[in-house]
Amino acid sequence: VVYPRVFPLDPAELVRDTIDMHAGDRGYMDDYTLFRGSRDYLPGDSIRFINWRMLARQGELNVNLYEPLVPQSITFLLDLKSFTVWREEFNNSGAFYVLEEFHDEKLEDMISLTASAIIALTEKKVKCTLVLPRYGEKADEIIRSERIETQVPDLLTALSAISYKGEDAAFSRNEILRNSNSFGQVYAVGESANAFTCMKILDGLDEYQTRLLVRDSNEEHHIYKTIGYEELGRKHE
């Protein structure tokens, strides 16, 4: 098996974003951390972390220390068809579509980014799931590992088996929605914010559960927050 090209990646942006999803308008990121003690205040400490109750009761200036939470699971849904452009044509039978462009190099970039993210998240003990569409002779798949120790080889093997050449591709909406409770945070992977072909599926998920992981991040989506390749892949560059 030839695994996808991988590169060092700091998953903090993915993890931080999942915490922000839950925090919403209700508070700061420390609302979703575990309290692990306190220490004396030092110059430069944020006033947000001052233990005001201790200050009022004992006159001691201390700051609270927190242990950041990481999500229990993250799912990558690969929208392979978003890397294609189709042209509508007509004949005596009506309209049909012809493949006009296939951006295979950009797809390879995003497969590499997904593989790199899985490796980095596994080191944080985050369980990952892959959702792949059906195309050609390949059936759609929801792939997860039984054990965190085998997650990287299992999922990278599945990524290495992608043989998409620009065919029509589609997901099983009912199967995805049936399993969505176990997905955790969902990152739909595609070429750009407005190229996704799986929006009807994403619209069936919790809006705060879903983000777009895109190769070209020049466009913003009107519903979902996007994270670009350059934001996560810059270490490789």
| Rounded Cα distance, 130 and 117, in Å | 12
The encoded tokens of residue 222 equal: 């009107």
Beta strands in 45-93 (DSSP E): 62-68, 73-78, 84-91
pLDDT in tens, 40-86: 988 888 887 888 877 888 888 888 876 555 457 899 999 999 999 99
The encoded tokens of residue 71 equal: 């999500």
Average pLDDT value for residue range 161-184: 93
| Rounded Cα distance, 101 and 167, in Å | 11
Q: Would you say 57 and 172 are in contact if contact means Cβ atoms under 8 Å apart? A: no
- Residues 6 or more apart whose CB falls under 8 angstroms from that of 46 comprise 63
Average pLDDT value for residue range 179-200: 93
DSSP 180: G
Asked if residue 159 has pLDDT above 90, the reply is yes
Calculate the alpha carbon distances from 223 to 40, 68, 206 in Å. Answer: 43, 27, 12
Q: Would you say 127 and 144 are in contact if contact means Cβ atoms under 8 Å apart? A: yes
| Rounded Cα distance, 71 and 128, in Å | 10
- At residue 222, the pLDDT reads 87
pTM of this structure: 0.78
